[in-house]
Amino acid sequence: MILIWMICILLAGGILSWIAARRSPLLAKWIALLTVTADLLITCWLFSFYQAFPDKTSWYINHQANWIPALGISFHVAMDGFSHVLLLLTFFLGILAVLCSWKEIKEKTGFYFFNLLWTLAGISGVFIAMDMILFYFCWEIMLIPMYFLIILWGDARRRYAGYKFFIFTQVGSLLMLLSILALYFVHGDQTGKYTFDYFSLLHTAMDATVAKWIMLGFLIAFAIKLPVVPFHNWLPDAHGEAPTAGSLVLAGLLLKTGAYGIIRFVLPLFPESAVAIAPVMILFGVAGIIYGALLAFSQTDLKRLIAYTSVSHMGFVLVGIFSFNNIAMQGVVMQILTHGLSTGALFVMAGMLKERLHTRDIDRMGGMWTSMPAMGGIAILFTMASAGLPVLGNFIAEFFVLLGAFANYPTFSIIATLGLILSAIYSLRMLQKVFMGQQHFTEPVKDISARELVIMAALSISIVILGLFPQPVIDTVQHLSTIHPLLHE
């Protein structure tokens, strides 16, 4: 039941924040902060269950209760090491998202924190739902509050960005729902038992053509969310116009639900179809790495620049997943974590600069190191992390992905290494444009505040620890090779 309580805490905290804001906006902020902190502490405590589990390879928390038994729908939640790591990332970034919003959000504070906490609740549900209808329900809960965060608290073109985000993601959601229903009926026709339970559907035998079409419904939905080129078009607009916390949650968490969906659903449910489509998906992944990096280099809007780096970095995730290699899969999990931290930090930094300078145009910045040396130093750290500098977590992730991919797809792996060179070029260009060169602002600009320093220090320490000590994460997700027999190939 503890997993259900974790989601209920977020849902209740969102409602309480909304109600409390009528009396005191500050009280709403504290309720939101304490709510997410409570979930993070619970998630850390749950590691005791993992340590006590005999082989550390399976679902060490598993709870199922009837919901609509006549239709085979249950309230089934479970957690393994992979889900556990992603929940830790969710609540850690959730706390930072609340802190980011502390001074930035001045209007409709209660409704803002309601949407933020319900988005986090939806994301948490996605990572632990083992009933396909429950998974779809959490997927929708995750998307709708994020849409409100963009259109109500975003920048000048927030409505356009919000509508685009909603249309892209809802088209993917509809395809996924159709695939879920198709899988439900195929399994029911074979066994006589109609169920949406993940573990039952794993054993569904299908004709190759039927499996391919059902898989494509899932794959397109997750590819839009990842995002995979050419389904990435919504991302720069949504990132560019969202509030700082919205960009942090989008980059750090929502994109990761796409990778999680492919690993958790596409590979185990449709192994033969996944093998057949693997070369095409790796081609898309390599194209995303190069294309995202080139577009990042050409941007003058700081937030759009960072958004296109996400397209490039998520290309590595796609390459690693469809390499069917255990080392590459470990690199994928590391990339999911380190990208959430490093790119999330860059978006937080972009929000701080926007708050001070009232612009996102890097051509109008420059020389900010003189006024903001502390922020400049932190910017160097995360710029180097984004570029894949050794000792930082991103290097481990991308190195593992390329090493694993080389075993099965050496040509694609070699081409993908160009992404490392291009990431260094666009990262250094961003750093030079913003913090070096001639200063364009004559008015004094405040350096990083104590609250902002806490946020950036937490992200800095995390990215360095993952770079120096990646083994605990690798051990936690080692069981993925037992869940996915394809990884032995």
The per-residue pLDDT for range 305-314, each reduced to its tens digit, is 999 999 999 9
Token duo for residue 74: 């249950």
Residue-level pLDDT at 360: 85
**Chain centroid, CA 290 distance in Å:** 20
Taking the CB of residue 217, how many other CB atoms lie within 10 A of it? 20
The mean pLDDT of the chain is: 89
Minimum mean pLDDT range among 131-135, 242-246, 256-260, 481-485: 481-485
Residue 301 in domain? yes
Answer whether residue 129 shows pLDDT above 90: yes
Q: How open is the CA angle 40-130-220, to the nearest 5 degrees?
A: 100
Residue-level pLDDT at 50: 65
Instruction: Classify burial at 55, counting beta carbons within 10 Å of its beta carbon; exposed 0-12, middle 13-18, buried 19 or more.
Output: exposed
Residue-level pLDDT at 168: 92
Ordered alpha helix ranges (H), 21-59: 25-45, 47-52
φ, ψ of residue 73 in degrees (nearest 5) = -105, 130
Answer whether residue 173 shows pLDDT above 70: yes
3-state SS, residue 154: coil
Taking the CB of residue 208, how many other CB atoms lie within 10 A of it? 10
Q: How crowded is the C-beta side of 321, counted as CA atoms within 13 Å?
A: 35
| Residue 364 belongs to domain spanning | 287-489
3-state SS, residue 157: coil
Residue 408 in domain? yes
CA distances from 398 to 285, 331, 346, 429, 470 (A): 13, 6, 18, 21, 13
Please tell me the pTM assigned to this model: 0.93
Residue 293 in domain? yes
Q: Residue 164's closest CA among 254, 220, 221, 232?
A: 232
Counting the structural domains of the chain, the total is 1
Q: How open is the CA angle 141-146-151, to the nearest 5 degrees?
A: 135
Residue 308 in domain? yes
Residue 12 in domain? no
Residue 485 in domain? yes
Q: How open is the CA angle 426-432-435, to the nearest 5 degrees?
A: 130
Residue 444 in domain? yes
Alpha-carbon distance 361 to 311, whole Å? 20
Strand 61-68 versus strand 73-79 pairing type: antiparallel
Mean predicted confidence (pLDDT) in 245-274: 91
Residue-level pLDDT at 489: 44
Q: Provide the residue type at 347 as one letter.
A: F
Cβ atoms 342, 391 nearer than 8 A:
no
Residue 354 in domain? yes
Residue-level pLDDT at 55: 55
Cβ atoms 177, 289 nearer than 8 A:
no
Token duo for residue 243: 């509030």
DSSP string, 463-488: HHHHHH--HHHHHHTTTHHHH-GGGG
Q: What is the largest CA-CA distance in the chain?
A: 74
Answer whether residue 482 shows pLDDT above 80: no
Taking the CB of residue 412, how many other CB atoms lie within 10 A of it? 20
Q: Residue 216's closest CA among 148, 276, 256, 159?
A: 276
**350-374: b (≥16 Cβ within 10 Å) or e:** bbbbbebbeebebeebbebbebbee
Answer whether residue 488 shows pLDDT above 60: no
Residues in the chain: 489
φ, ψ of residue 361 in degrees (nearest 5) = -80, 115
The per-residue pLDDT for range 450-471, each reduced to its tens digit, is 888 999 999 999 999 999 998 8
Alpha-carbon distance 58 to 130, whole Å? 14
DSSP string, 173-200: HHHHHHHHHHHHHHHHHHHS----BHHH
Q: At what angle do helices 326-357 and 450-468 cross, to 10 degrees?
A: 160
Mean predicted confidence (pLDDT) in 17-29: 91
Token duo for residue 97: 């998202």
Token duo for residue 137: 């329900």
Q: Confidence class of residue 408 from pLDDT cuts 50, 70 and 90?
A: confident
Residue-level pLDDT at 51: 62
